[in-house]
Amino acid sequence: MNYDCLTFFDGDNYYHFLGKSSDTLTKEIKGSHNKKAKSNLWFVFIPLNCTKTLAEMTDEEKNNRPDNRTSATDEFINWYKLNYQNTKKLVKNH
């Protein structure tokens, strides 16, 4: 199991978002470098029910992979749209 976490601070409160996915890891680096890679794990991470690393997959394969994953970034984006998108509340610069 692989987890990712994102924390958002709005100037007053911290909000935490967790993503998880099941996977296996390769013993060697596979795939090509891509600007969309979120980390070096993309070269060794094979999602559950898949046969390629994330670095080997096309964008379509990554978007439609059948591993029932959740993403901390996606969880945050959905929450932000519901809670902050239509308000004038901004993150305070300290």
Q: Which of 84 and 85 is assigned the larger pLDDT? A: 84
Taken in order of first residue, the domains within the chain and their CATH numbers are: 2-83 (3.90.950.10)
Determine the pLDDT at residue 88: 53
The Cα 87–Cα 90 span in angstroms is: 8
Q: Token digits for 49? A: 């029910």
Residue 60 neighbours by CB distance under 10 Å? 8
Angle 75-81-84 from CA coordinates, rounded to 5°:
115
Angle 18-21-27 from CA coordinates, rounded to 5°:
130
Residues 47-67: pLDDT tens digits?
989 999 999 999 899 888 888
CB 61 within 8 A of CB 53: no
pTM of the model: 0.61
How much is the mean pLDDT over the chain?
85
The Cα 94–Cα 78 span in angstroms is: 26
Residues 73-83: pLDDT tens digits?
989 999 999 88
**Side chain identity, residue 39:** S
The Cα 70–Cα 51 span in angstroms is: 19
Q: Which of 12 and 38 is assigned the larger pLDDT? A: 12
